[in-house]
Each structure stands twice: as C-alpha cells, then as structure tokens.
Amino acid sequence: MRLNALNKFHEPLVSSGGFQKTQLSPLNEIVVKEFHEFQNKAPEYAMAVAVIRALTCAIKDSKAQTFMGVSKDLEEAATALQRMNPCSIALKAACEIFLRYATRTMEKFEQEKFDNIKAELVERGIRFEEASIKSREKIVDLASRFVRPNAVVLVHGYSRVVLGILERVASMGCLFSVIVAEARPDDEGSGLKMVSALDRLNVPVTLVPDAGVAYVMEEVDIFLAGAEAVVENGGVVGRLGTYQVALCARACSKPVYVAAESYTFARLFPVSQRDLPNANKPMGLGPLLPQRVKVAHPSRDYTPPTCIDLLVTDLGVLTPAAVSDELIQLYL
C-alpha cells in the first residue's frame, strides 16, 4: 500500500497576513511549543531547522498505531505550524519538503514493522535536521570564492547566510569592503544589525540608505543577497527592496548572486509581485500622516530570474534555469 496522504498536503498559500491563533490538539501544542523554544534557543539557525525539529517531535510523540495515522498527525502538525504565520513562504516550503521526505521513508520501509518504521522516521528526521544545519556551511564554502581581494560587496539588510560567507572570507585574510543597504523601514533593524556584525569582524563597512543604492552602485563589484524562498522559475522571494537593488545592479552590469539553502526551494510560480502572499506591515509614521492616505508596506518582494546571475546553494552553484530540475528531484 502506497502512502499518499501527505502528497495531498500541497495547497495554495494563504495571503490573509499576520499570525493566527487556533485551538490546538495536545500533540500540536507540543509541536508549536518545540518550534518556538528552538527558535528562541538557537536564533542563529534558519526557521526550516526549527520546523524539522518540531515535525520530528510530532512523529516521536504521535500516539497513532498505523502508518496512515502517523501521516495524518504529521500533516496536522504541519498545518498547525503554518497557521502561526500563513504568509511565510519559508515556513510552508520547509513543511512541504519534510513531509515529502517522511512519505518517501514510509514508502521505502512499508513492509517493516510499524515500531521499526517509526523509529527510523525519527532517526532520519534527526539526520535531516543535522544536514540542514550543515547546508549553510556548504554554501559558505562555495560562495566565498566569489569575493575577490579588494572587492566591494553590496548587501541588502541582514542575512545569516550572507554574513556567514563574508565571515569566512574575512577569516581567510582576504581584504574587501561591504556596502550595506539599510533595508528600512524594518522592524528588525536589519541594516544596523548587519553593519554591527561586520564591524565586529573588522570588515570595512558603509551603511547607505536604500534611496542611495544607485548612487553607490558604480563602486560595487557584486551584489550578494539572501532569500526567503527560491521559486520554481529560479527567481527568489526576499526582503522588501531586494528586487530594486537587483534591478539597479543589472542596469549597471554588476553580477547578482543569491545564497540560499535548498530547503527554501518552494513550489511557487509568481508571475508578478501581486502573486506573493503578503502582509502589509505597519510603518509607524505618526499623526502627521493624513487619515485618507494609504500606506503600502509589503513584507517581501519577488526578484525574477532575469535579474539573477547565479544561485549558490548546498546543492551546488546553479543558474536560475536549473532550479526547476532540482525542485523535481526534491519532491519526487
């Protein structure tokens, strides 16, 4: 008997915005708690690692006595995680990849005893988490070669993987400098967080307002960006403003490299900015703003593959056109 329950999980992203609270089952309460506790304990890791940890916990603590029962519990746990933030593409992508991984494992061992398969699922979940943590190191190894001596690297706000790349280059004794677009307005203080981290590494760094990106572009050698998600056509979804920086870099013939883990690959094919699930974030402009004026502050934007030269991933260095083939392999 083939286990196809989890394959029915792939549903359209919700675009209602914000975090949602719903009544959770006891198992899903454990899953959500595990997710939050891991994120608070290890903020240096990507959200996907917390998702893998939480869903592995769902398998371990499931009271189901059949494969289909475990599949159902795992599907409901993934749904509970996504309801926390329906607009998060990264959260949905991590859930989908783990569910597909679990399905393949159950199909492979379906002739074994139930307890043996459940133990195997938990063990493989742990190994999947470890591999996901190591994926950033693989990217750092590959991407560090793109930063040449005396290069000027442009980045947009804060990115864990981009910082890891620059930290590795600095540790190799390579002299380079960084221009950080501040990515405002940003409730995380993204640009300031990035320049502070680079300053601690003794890397020469300049903070520039987003409106000044075109002004400094002639000094730049490469634009290095992170991504929330890599979509089917090789484009990326990222922090608001990534698209306009990439457009400017393209217009000035500067290479655009995106560093992203394979667990951010999402089965999503946006055609325009309006196809993204987006929450309109508050900007806090104060009482001087006239009441009838609308404020548009989407949480992310989409950079099409035509603006990207290469994607540096734990699967290797890919052209945007190669992403669809990798997605097929991930979800087979």
Q: What is the pLDDT along the chain (332 residues), one digit of tens a residue?
A: 334 433 433 333 333 344 445 578 889 999 999 999 998 988 888 888 899 999 999 999 999 888 889 889 999 999 999 998 888 888 998 899 889 888 888 877 777 788 887 888 888 888 888 888 889 999 999 999 999 999 999 999 999 999 999 999 999 999 999 999 998 876 567 899 999 999 999 999 999 999 999 999 999 999 999 999 999 999 999 999 999 999 999 999 999 999 999 888 988 899 888 888 866 676 767 788 888 888 888 888 999 999 999 999 999 999 999 998 888 777 66
Structural tokens at position 18? 């914000």
- Cross-strand bridge partners of residue 148: none
Backbone angles phi, psi at 61, to 5 degrees: -95, 0
pTM: 0.82
- The CATH class of 147-331 is alpha beta
DSSP codes, 196-253: HHHHHTT--EEEE-GGGHHHHGGG-SEEEE--SEE-TTS-EEEETTHHHHHHHHHHTT
CB 30 within 8 A of CB 80: no
Structural tokens at position 45? 């890791």
Amino acid at 312: V
Structural tokens at position 217? 């572009």
Nearest to 56 by CA among 84, 77, 40: 77
CB neighbourhood size of 200 (10 A): 9
Domain coordinates in residue numbering, the chain: 5-134, 147-331
